[in-house]
């Protein structure tokens, strides 16, 4: 039976064009400092300033507040 190995890194493209893999804990700070231009999600590449990024604002949510339940 094969072993399952979880790769806990995120592929990124830095502002200088270099591609690398980083720890997920570094992603937010690298985005905030504008050192990363893209990062790989499970559904493809996300481009900073183009694609919606969690915690960076975005469209207003018009649904109910589930936290009140």
Cβ atoms within 10 Å of 16's Cβ, excluding its own: 7
Strand order in the sheet with 36-41: 19-22, 10-14, 36-41, 44-47
**Residue 42: how many CA atoms within 13 Å on its side-chain side?**
2
Beta partners for residue 36, in sequence order = 14
- One pLDDT digit (tens) per residue for the chain, 69 residues: 556 556 799 999 999 999 999 999 999 999 999 999 999 998 999 999 999 887 665 455 555 555 554
The structural domains of the chain, with segments of one domain joined by +, span 1-13+20-37
Given phi > 0 = left and psi -120 to 50 = alpha, else beta, which region is 34? left
């Amino acid at each position: 039976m094969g072993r399952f190995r979880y790769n806990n890194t995120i592929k990124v493209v830095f502002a200088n064009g270099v591609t690398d893999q980083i720890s997920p804990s570094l992603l937010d700070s690298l985005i905030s400092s504008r050192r990363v231009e893209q990062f790989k999600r499970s559904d493809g590449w996300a481009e900073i300033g183009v694609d919606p990024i969690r915690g960076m604002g975005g469209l207003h949510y018009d649904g109910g507040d589930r936290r009140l339940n």
